[in-house]
Structure 1
Amino acid sequence: MAERMAEEAGLNVLVIDRREHVAGNAFDHEDASGILIHRYGPHIFHTNSEDVFAYLSRFTDWRPYEHRVLAQVEEKQVPMPINRTTLNMIFGKSLSTDEEAEEFLAGMAEPRDEIRTSEDVVVSKVGQHLYEMFFRGYTRKQWGLDPSELDRSVTARVPTRVDTDDRYFGDKFQQMPANGYTAMFEKMLDHPRICILLDTDYKDVVGKIDYDRMVFTGPVDEYFDFRLGKLPYRSLQFRHEMVDQEQFQPVGVVNYPNEAVPYTRITEYKHLTGQVAPTTSITYEYPSAEGDPYYPIPRPENQELFREYDKLANAEENVLFVGRLATYRYYNMDQVVGQALATFRRAFVETKEA
């Protein structure tokens, strides 16, 4: 938003962030061993949008990277999302065609009359056994709720395949910024009309600044001082470690669905960055009820509360609410970029043309 307002609309922009760095949750930096790590957990860029990819390409070169994830189940590490290889490894099968795998999954599926929850989505597709093996424990850890209590959108994000494609995403563009996300955002903000104020809460300075319009990207309930109550979010805690070996795990991310394991996944960054080094760096990810807000919790009562806040937001003159927290939606990175570009066009281009 800042870059478009400065470059295309010719406006002077002040970017305020309460953290001590730019790039938000996508912030990455070199650790003591020189490995580029993601402070707030792995961010994997993927999109089918040519517009989003073209826009970001103005600010970075790319490194091709196809994300692969394994799940640790029953002493095995198997491809996730579930595919034909997963089924063969788990059940000792030799399914050799898509049709055989489809027939096998159809035999395990337990159709439900109505698909309302995350549990309904998975059980209707792959049955109770695979649901409990891969989804139930992971979801309970991640969200602090059983899948039967969560909107169907949560597990609908993870596909089930009958081929042997072991990529986590199937998007047209699957790349990582060649020099990292922070470098990309620094270049985006490197504009004579943009000033940056870090380590500052906007509420501490907003009364001292003359401005025409605000773009708010924090939690929408916080903007209104929680006057209708708090919107629930899940948070994350991270444990970063440097390991004195060349490789820790075979892929970038290994999931741990078992509820007995306190973390949900381990990330090894060299897979993401392509760096070569005698040591490696990893991050353990622990879901938490407390801490910075990361994930809006998709339940009907939360959406109802957000709709009330959204009415207040729409009534605010000269304030635009953009991003995952401000619009209480579980966006991927490319969706946030798309939302920001669309919001800019509506607010600054189309209104000017009209």
Structure 2
Amino acid sequence: MIGDQSGREHYDYLIVGAGFAGSVLAERLASQHDAKVLLIDRRPHIGGNAYDEPNEAGILYHKYGPHIFHTNSDQVVDYLSQFTEWRPYEHRVRAVVRDRLVPIPINRTTLNELFDLDLKTDEDAAAYLASRAEPVADIQTSEDVVVNAVGRELYELFFQGYTRKQWGLDPSELDKSVTSRIPTRTNTDDRYFTDSFQAMPAEGYTRMFERMLDHPNIEVRTGVDFREVRDSVDYGHLIFTGPIDEYFDHRFGKLPYRSLTFDHQTLEQERFQDTGTVNYPAPDVPYTRISEYKHLTGQQAPVTTITYEYPSAEGDPYYPIPRAENQELFKRYEALGDETEGVTFVGRLATYRYYNMDQIVGQALATFRRMDGKREPHNADAVAAA
């Protein structure tokens, strides 16, 4: 890298966070703008929460819980396909309810199995759900969304306990967006997602990130905190994908997050459960779900690795807590960020929103296009001057 007069290394961009947002921007800036990029992450690895690795038994597992790739964006698929082959995979989830294992999202099969019904058509299921629904005139909370759609019994069986565990709050205290993301179906489609593209990186997420960052203009340093390098590295522009409140030293107070802890176990058996993930909505079960990775990866082995997932109030920030007062606090940080020269905030933590992986890739690509667009008038002026 080029040094300045003080002998410090110079980079065009310092990017904080080697997850999807930071890695995509590093790749785009290096490959398309010939920019010199330093990419850092406080964790000892790249890939952010999507990081996966083989454990001692050789099972490829996701250290931070299951990450299932799905998207309706051809642009995102085309971009990532430069760095990975794909293994087709459609995720299916079951929920343990009243000692039965039933599909979730709720569909016609769920209703038939749980209530010993014989609903034969979409119309039958729609009529049944309508008969259970308890209309809410002014839908404000997550509880309102579900009760309005399917009634209180299904709400309590599938949503109330799970949501209380996941968020540490009752659904009546959470924004309606939380449960609005979970559909209720009248057909028998038991896939968790219905996106047009559903697949897993054939060699895992980490291998995909390694290929993405394999560029001579990109230097990657892991196990490094931003505060350790911000004053020792010379850079033209900062891209920050960490928590925006942390960047500003929590000036207005901390933005609230829910965290997770994971209990990874390798079992001396070929298969543990019939689907990739099983949810446990009951409030007396401390974990929210168990995932088994061989469903996702297609690996063949005499042993299997599973993960128990426990929501937590403390730990790494995973889920912004969707309440109006939290959004108001974020807006104060966002306004401060907009006023701050020389830094671009991108990603889930920097924008305090829950995004799927494909949405983060799309956001990073859109951010690059804006940066690219700002260069063009300058380049055109330079050509005209010449």
Q: What TM bracket, shorter-length normalisation?
A: over 0.9
In structure 1, what residue type is equivalent to 2:349?
L
Q: Does 1:236 align with 2:236?
A: no
| TM superposition shift of 1:78 | 0.3
In the alignment, the residues of structure 1 paired with residue 32 and residue 341 of structure 2 have an alpha-carbon distance, to the nearest angstrom, of: 22
Aligned with residue 192 of structure 1, among 194, 203, 216: 216
In the alignment, the residues of structure 2 paired with residue 325 and residue 111 of structure 1 have an alpha-carbon distance, to the nearest angstrom, of: 35
In structure 2, what residue type is equivalent to 1:291?
G
In the alignment, the residues of structure 2 paired with residue 337 and residue 118 of structure 1 have an alpha-carbon distance, to the nearest angstrom, of: 28
In structure 2, what residue type is equivalent to 1:61?
E
User: What's 2:192 paired with?
Assistant: 168
In the alignment, the residues of structure 2 paired with residue 204 and residue 52 of structure 1 have an alpha-carbon distance, to the nearest angstrom, of: 33
Q: Does 1:282 align with 2:335?
A: no
User: What's 2:343 paired with?
Assistant: 319
Compare CA radii of gyration and give the structure with the larger one: 2
In structure 2, what residue type is equivalent to 1:280?
T
In the alignment, the residues of structure 1 paired with residue 282 and residue 148 of structure 2 have an alpha-carbon distance, to the nearest angstrom, of: 21
User: What's 1:96 paired with?
Assistant: 120
In the alignment, the residues of structure 1 paired with residue 68 and residue 101 of structure 2 have an alpha-carbon distance, to the nearest angstrom, of: 21
Deviations 1:301-323 (A, max 9, x none): 00000000001111111111011
In structure 1, what residue type is equivalent to 2:373?
E
| TM superposition shift of 1:236 | 0.2
In the alignment, the residues of structure 1 paired with residue 144 and residue 342 of structure 2 have an alpha-carbon distance, to the nearest angstrom, of: 42
In the alignment, the residues of structure 1 paired with residue 366 and residue 99 of structure 2 have an alpha-carbon distance, to the nearest angstrom, of: 46
Deviations 1:130-164 (A, max 9, x none): 00000000000000000011111111111000000
Q: Does 1:351 align with 2:345?
A: no
Q: Does 1:142 align with 2:166?
A: yes
In the alignment, the residues of structure 1 paired with residue 146 and residue 373 of structure 2 have an alpha-carbon distance, to the nearest angstrom, of: 42
User: What's 1:226 paired with?
Assistant: 250
User: What's 1:304 paired with?
Assistant: 328
In the alignment, the residues of structure 2 paired with residue 32 and residue 208 of structure 1 have an alpha-carbon distance, to the nearest angstrom, of: 38
Deviations 1:221-260 (A, max 9, x none): 0000001000000000000000111110000000000010
Q: Does 1:293 align with 2:317?
A: yes
User: What's 1:65 paired with?
Assistant: 89
Deviations 1:274-326 (A, max 9, x none): 01111100000000000000000010000000000001111111111011000
Aligned with residue 50 of structure 1, among 60, 64, 74: 74
| TM superposition shift of 1:353 | 2.1
Structure 2: state its 5+ residue gaps: 1-24, 378-386
Deviations 1:106-153 (A, max 9, x none): 000111001111111111100000000000000000000000111111
User: What's 1:261 paired with?
Assistant: 285
Structure 1: state its 5+ residue gaps: none
In the alignment, the residues of structure 2 paired with residue 242 and residue 44 of structure 1 have an alpha-carbon distance, to the nearest angstrom, of: 20
| Equivalent residue pairs, number | 353
In the alignment, the residues of structure 2 paired with residue 77 and residue 8 of structure 1 have an alpha-carbon distance, to the nearest angstrom, of: 50
Q: Does 1:105 align with 2:114?
A: no
User: What's 1:201 paired with?
Assistant: 225
Deviations 1:170-213 (A, max 9, x none): 00000000000000001000000000111010111110111011
User: What's 1:329 paired with?
Assistant: 353
Aligned with residue 296 of structure 2, among 256, 263, 272: 272
| TM superposition shift of 1:72 | 0.5
In the alignment, the residues of structure 1 paired with residue 126 and residue 376 of structure 2 have an alpha-carbon distance, to the nearest angstrom, of: 52
Where 1:184 maps in the other structure, the secondary structure is: helix
User: What's 2:21 paired with?
Assistant: none
With structure 2 as the length reference, what TM-score do the two structures score? 0.91
Q: Percent identity?
A: 65
Where 1:175 maps in the other structure, the secondary structure is: strand
CA RMSD after TM alignment: 0.6
Where 1:277 maps in the other structure, the secondary structure is: coil
In the alignment, the residues of structure 2 paired with residue 199 and residue 272 of structure 1 have an alpha-carbon distance, to the nearest angstrom, of: 28
In structure 2, what residue type is equivalent to 1:325?
L
In the alignment, the residues of structure 2 paired with residue 214 and residue 18 of structure 1 have an alpha-carbon distance, to the nearest angstrom, of: 16
Where 2:175 maps in the other structure, the secondary structure is: coil
In structure 2, what residue type is equivalent to 1:206?
R
In structure 1, what residue type is equivalent to 2:77?
F
Where 1:186 maps in the other structure, the secondary structure is: helix
In the alignment, the residues of structure 2 paired with residue 353 and residue 85 of structure 1 have an alpha-carbon distance, to the nearest angstrom, of: 55
